[in-house]
Amino acid sequence: MKEREQFATYPSLRERVVLVTGGATGIGAAVVEEFALQGSRVAFLDIDATASSLLIANLSTRCLHPPVFLQCDLTDIAALRAAVAQVEASHGAVRVLVNNAASDDRHSFSEVTPEYWDGRMAINLRHQFFAIQAVAPRMTAAGGGSIINMSSIGWMIPSTGMPAYVACKAAIVGLTRTDQDDGPRIGKIKYSCEWCIGRCNSYRTSAPPMVDSGIQSRDHGAPGSQKEFGSPGSCAPHPVSSG
């Protein structure tokens, strides 16, 4: 743990149950690592068993609770639901969900087929909704939590060569900003949308004011605001609902 002495630690994240999708490589692996080094009890879902084993091996002697890997193809919603149920059975209620998995494979506008389009939706958008739906009941019953949906600045730049991916990343912002009549209440569960900037290791952790797009950023529930999502500690459950 000596390596952490130069960085902030957040007592509220210790023992916190965190679920990360696509946690084997890239940003997801960095998220798994950072939460694990905070003493959180991290589970992550991915298809890449090899990279997952390497990540766990790298962390096993460095953290209180080595992360737990569940192999899961997130395009299979039944498998996703089963994996969440397995995590809840072994760890308890998920208090932080990081909806991270995606695939930004480039595709030519003219060559996109309906089947390819549906496949992009399945890996870049659909599982985010169903992961929220799966964790929400127990997260809410446990007193609340944080849900972080990974978007991209790709839909604001605008970018080229991946129209289906970019459409999903814009939709994730809409999903994050939606209040559900019969779902988790914003304020009880904090939603946040992340915009990555740079390649992999650098990413903005709060919704930027979308002045250029004409969209106003909104508060995600007092006393937390989007600005609060700038650090791992901000993923701790809402103060009024801690438990």
Active site residues: 165
* 3-class DSSP assignment, residue 63: coil
Torsion angle defined by CA atoms of residues 204, 206, 211 and 213, in that order, rounded to the nearest 10 degrees: 80
With respect to ligand NAD, which residue has the nearer C-beta, 106 or 199?
A: 199
* 3-class DSSP assignment, residue 118: helix
Pick from 15, 34, 104, 105 the residue near ligand NAD by CB under 6 A: 104
Residue nearest ligand NAD (C-beta atom): 26
Give least dist CB 169 to ligand NAD, A.
6
Applying CB under 6 A, does 128 fall inside the site for ligand NAD? no
With respect to ligand NAD, which residue has the nearer C-beta, 45 or 147?
A: 45
Ramachandran sector of residue 39 (left: φ over 0; alpha: ψ -120 to 50; beta: rest) = left
The Cβ of residue 162 has, within 10 Å, a number of other Cβ atoms equal to 21
With respect to ligand NAD, which residue has the nearer C-beta, 142 or 172?
A: 172
Pick from 98, 196, 235, 236 the residue near ligand NAD by CB under 6 A: 196
- Interacting residues of 82 by C-beta distance below 8 A, sequence separation 6+: 72
- Measured distance CA(43)–CA(83) in Å, rounded: 10
- Which amino acid makes up residue 219? D
Applying CB under 6 A, does 25 fall inside the site for ligand NAD? yes
Residues 36-95 that bind ligand NAD (CB under 6 A): 45-48, 72-75
With respect to ligand NAD, which residue has the nearer C-beta, 22 or 144?
A: 22
* 3-class DSSP assignment, residue 150: strand
Which alpha helices (DSSP H) does the chain contain, by range? Answer: 26-37, 49-59, 77-91, 114-121, 127-141, 163-176
Applying CB under 6 A, does 199 fall inside the site for ligand NAD? yes
Applying CB under 6 A, does 22 fall inside the site for ligand NAD? yes
Pick from 101, 148, 164, 193 the residue near ligand NAD by CB under 6 A: 101
Pick from 28, 144, 184, 187 the residue near ligand NAD by CB under 6 A: 28
Task: Tell the residue number behind the tokens 């209620």, with chain if given.
Answer: 93
Task: Tell the residue number behind the tokens 């991916």, with chain if given.
Answer: 165
Pick from 57, 200, 210, 240 the residue near ligand NAD by CB under 6 A: 200
| Chain-centre distance for alpha carbon 117 | 22
Q: In the complex, which residues of this chain contact ligand NAD (CB under 6 A)?
A: 22, 24-28, 45-48, 72-75, 100-104, 123, 150, 152, 196, 199-200
